[in-house]
Amino acid sequence: MSDVKYKRILLKLSGEALLGDRAYGVDPAVVTRIASEIKEVRDLGVEIALVIGGGNIFRGLAASARGMDRVTGDYMGMLATIMNSLAMQDALEKLDVQTRVLSAIEMKELAEPYIKRRAVRHLERGRIVIFAAGTGNPFFTTDTAASLRAMEVSADVIMKGTKVDGVYDRDPMKDDNAVKYESLTFLDVLKDGLKVMDSTAISLCMDNNLPIIVFNIKDYGNVIKVVNGDPVGTLIVAEEGSGNE
């Protein structure tokens, strides 16, 4: 293994990361580009797990706000993450990267059931592992699922790929004066209500001292830079000064 900073990572992608210029669904070209970057990182000897949201297809919370039963909507959202996971698996395997989708909801024809020991074994054998269907429970986001799975497989870091290059004090897409943070503590995120991950996910990472790096997934090469410890995006840690020393 090359001299990388993080040996085992969990890469969290929103469903919107797969949209490209589309308003809905999956852009195969975007999925292929992300898969190519994941392959380059895997070739460095890094063990990689993924969690992909389903917002490009269905959002249970949004459907609930329009009158749908929240539990039903959340389960539909979990199925959307399965679709995205299968799309990413297809793209990776076309690049000759062995990939396994592990689902929190049993569906034997499509994915393996999530079992922690099985997931760790796949990672140790150099396979990409995609955790699908969230936690398998309603009322929990894929951010929380990412935090939970990262801790279960002892990942070194959660890398959250977004459409902006880090965490800002305001929405940089709407305010040109928004200021980017180079680093933050989990308490900063919770206290200031920063839209990084939901509060449950942040609290889990804080309690277990699991760093998060928020970066722009659209810039090719950023995943490798983060893995190497380059100052990309925003680092979120338990205390200032820890993490990227």
Residue 109 sits in a domain of what CATH number?
Answer: 3.40.1160.10
The letter for the amino acid at 234 is T
Q: Name the least confident of 8-22, 137-151, 165-179, 204-218.
A: 165-179
Model confidence at 138: pLDDT above 60: yes
CB 158 within 8 A of CB 213: yes
The boundaries of the domain holding residue 101 are: 8-237
Query: What backbone phi and psi angles, to 5 degrees, belong to 83?
Result: -60, -45
Return the pLDDT at 245: 43
In a domain, 159, yes or no: yes
Which phi and psi angles does 155 have, rounded to 5°? -70, 150
Q: Quick one: pLDDT band at residue 176, thresholds 50, 70, 90? A: confident
pTM for the full predicted model: 0.93
Residue 244: pLDDT band with limits 50, 70, 90: very low
Average confidence score pLDDT of the chain: 94
Whether residue 64 lies inside any domain: the answer is yes
Q: What is the pLDDT of residue 2?
A: 62
- Residue 167 in any domain: the answer is yes
Whether 52 is in a domain gets the answer yes
Q: Residue 24: its pLDDT value, please?
A: 92
Q: Is residue 1 part of a domain?
A: no
In-domain check, residue 229: yes
53 closest CA partner among 20, 103, 18, 27: 18
Q: Which range (54-58, 93-97, 173-177) has the least confidence?
A: 173-177
- Residue 2: inside a domain, yes or no? no
For residue 240, the model assigns a pLDDT of 64
| Helices 142-152 & 199-207 angle (0-180, nearest 10) | 20
Q: Answer yes or no: is 189 within a domain.
A: yes
190 versus 240: the higher-pLDDT residue is: 190
Distance, CA of 43 to chain centre: 20
Question: How much of the chain exceeds pLDDT 70, in percent?
Answer: 97
Give the contacts of 109 (CB within 8 A, at least 6 positions apart).
none
How far CA 136 is from CA of 81, 90, 182, 243, in Å, comes to 11, 23, 34, 31
Average pLDDT over residues 155-162: 97
**Domain total for the chain?**
1
Say if residues 35 and 88 touch (Cβ distance below 8 Å): yes
CB 33 within 8 A of CB 18: no
